[in-house]
Structure 1
């Protein structure tokens, strides 16, 4: 295996694009290329997320929840976590501030506009 890029289902893709742009992500690909998007891939460094509207699924994959949020936490390793935290803390809903963990990481967690939890971590030495 070489990479993982979760495909996250959302109600409002435009709002999602704006949220992720505010924390440093850029749109890399989209369907369609212009206009009302039903799918986008956003990247920041080596991290990629795909976002797709729930409506675009139609009746395919009925097992996928049609509600925002999920019972998962997206754990993202970054560098210069303290600077990143200062840069975004007033633009997002911080649900757990900067803290040092027993396993040697510095972490903080935010809630995105779709109620998904993103935890950012750095192994500071």
Structure 2
């Protein structure tokens, strides 16, 4: 697996809950490292790196600058899928849809994960 240029690592309330949520959406979770006391997890989508999740309390210890930062983010992440319609049909009952729109003819469905992170799903384009 090649490393992405930027690798998001999200602070989450409960790593097990977050991993279970993303696995229902078709992600695969891998351990982030060999330390049994560290709950860092790497999430793949369609065999490709997508993001990492780390329990907020552990992430705050790792980077104390985050000590007062709430879980969740201002902004959004995008997930490009091979078949937008089929994927959205599959996940719709599993997520809290917050917006559906189209930009430049490209459909986007936004939902939140258990910690309030916003994910926008769209059709993967050639070369992505």
TM-score range, shorter chain: 0.7 to 0.9
1:123 & 1:18 partners in 2: Cα distance?
A: 24
2:79 is equivalent to residue 111 of structure 1: no
Change (3 A) 1:81 1:53: same
2:23 & 2:8 partners in 1: Cα distance?
A: 17
Matched-pair contact (CA < 8 Å) for 1:105–1:123: no
After superposition, the C-alpha distances for 1:41-62 in whole angstroms (9 at most, x for unaligned) are 0101234210011221354423
Structure 2 residue ranges without an equivalent (≥5): none
Where do residues 1-125 of structure 1 align in structure 2 (5 Å cutoff)? 3=4, 4-32=6-34, 38-45=39-46, 46-64=48-66, 66-97=69-100, 99-101=101-103, 103-122=104-123
TM-score (norm 1): 0.82
Structure 1 ranges of 4+ moved more than 3 A: 30-34, 57-60
Partner of 1:66, secondary structure, is coil
2:60 & 2:49 partners in 1: Cα distance?
A: 28
After superposition, the C-alpha distances for 1:19-58 in whole angstroms (9 at most, x for unaligned) are 1001000112334576x75210010123421001122135
CA RMSD after TM alignment: 2.3
1:52 & 1:123 partners in 2: Cα distance?
A: 27
1:12 & 1:81 partners in 2: Cα distance?
A: 29
1:51 & 1:123 partners in 2: Cα distance?
A: 23
Alignment coverage as a number of residue pairs: 120
Q: Which has the higher helix share?
A: 2
Structure 1 residue ranges without an equivalent (≥5): none
